[in-house]
Amino acid sequence: QNNGDSTLLQEILQQTVLHPLCNKYPPSVKYRRRFLSELIKKHELTSSEPLDQLYDALGEVLNAEESETCHKNYLLPSKEYVTLTENVAIISGGTTGLVTWEAALYFAEWAMENPEVFHGRTVLELGSGIGFTGITICKTCSPKRYMFSDCHPGVLQQLRKNILSNGLLLDSCAWSLLGPEADVEGSVEPAGGRTLNVAALGLDWEEVSREQIAQLQADVIVATDIVYDPEVVFCLISVLEKLLIHASEGTGRHPVMYVASTIRNPETYHLFKTELDKVAIKHQVIKSPTTKVFPYNRSTKIELLRLHHEK
């Protein structure tokens, strides 16, 4: 029994803190400390001999300094990983876009259950943040083209690095949507390319024109956790009019949008739906995903809407 406990513990260590992926892209120091401390508590409840590897790992983490950034690794059903560099703080640099929010995890699960929505399509994502949803869709749903977008320079910089570190190649010409100032190219090299057209755009909802939106030719638009402030709602509705109504005029295209929202403030969410009605954008609640892939609080109220325009 003692030997069995030690063998199991060694296996847990090899699959977590000592895993090559964890060594290359380590989680936050705080998370690793808590994880190893809990593991030691459980080990001490057995009558097994102390395991040097376990205490060595804890000693190394206790001596480590907490960084402003950390890595999170998400295992996909295909056994591929999505690896992200995130900020440890929820709000950093004046933005909440440098962390992954629950609605992004929820929507990624839904997308993997419904890959036909994205297969062979041109997809635009609003408020991509650090890119979890889009990277997952690119790896699992085979879109023809995927356009990430955000407006915060710091978020765009980190977004681009995350896209490249997950083996996706960026279209170097795609930064011109809002002029040269939107170009935040870094020197990060892609970790093996894919035959998929991927772009990262600096897109300001208040500034973008109908003509610029029309150039994108998006078939499917996606967004997660962007309905959080009444002031943002009105800018968002203006963009949705351009995307779902004006961009399709005379083209024969009928773009659709999927918006996943964590309902923190029911009044703000109701305002969003009311404003959609005012501009004749139909909204339909879509059934939640059934397969549990990613770790998040399942009691959180998240709703997915399908939006489209009917003349």
Looking at the structure, tell me whether residues 25 and 106 fall in a common domain.
no
Single pTM value for the model: 0.82
Query: In the prediction, which pLDDT does 99 show?
Result: 57
Domain-terminating residue out of 66, 85, 100: 66
What angle in degrees, to the nearest 10, is found between the helix axes of 52-62 and 29-44? 150
Looking at the structure, tell me whether residues 189 and 299 fall in a common domain.
yes
| Alpha helices by DSSP H, the chain | 2-15, 20-24, 29-44, 52-62, 102-113, 132-140, 153-165, 210-216, 230-244, 266-278
Which residue segment(s) compose the domain that 260 sits in?
A: 76-309
In a domain, 71, yes or no: no
Looking at the structure, tell me whether residues 24 and 127 fall in a common domain.
no
Query: In the prediction, which pLDDT does 4 show?
Result: 60
Looking at the structure, tell me whether residues 61 and 10 fall in a common domain.
yes
In a domain, 189, yes or no: yes
The distance in angstroms from the start CA to the end CA of the chain is: 70
Domain-terminating residue out of 22, 41, 66: 66
Looking at the structure, tell me whether residues 22 and 105 fall in a common domain.
no
Query: In the prediction, which pLDDT does 171 show?
Result: 75
DSSP per-residue codes, 7-30: HHHHHHHHHTTTSHHHHHS---HH
How far is the C-alpha of 269 from the C-alpha of 257, rounded, in Å?
A: 16
Which parts of the chain sit beneath pLDDT 50?
1, 91-98, 175-176, 178-194
pLDDT tens digit sequence for 112-164: 999 999 999 999 999 999 999 999 999 999 999 999 999 888 889 999 999 99
Looking at the structure, tell me whether residues 47 and 192 fall in a common domain.
no
Query: In the prediction, which pLDDT does 195 show?
Result: 59
In a domain, 255, yes or no: yes
Domain-terminating residue out of 66, 89, 116: 66
Looking at the structure, tell me whether residues 60 and 80 fall in a common domain.
no
In a domain, 198, yes or no: yes
Domain count, the chain: 2
In a domain, 147, yes or no: yes
In a domain, 251, yes or no: yes
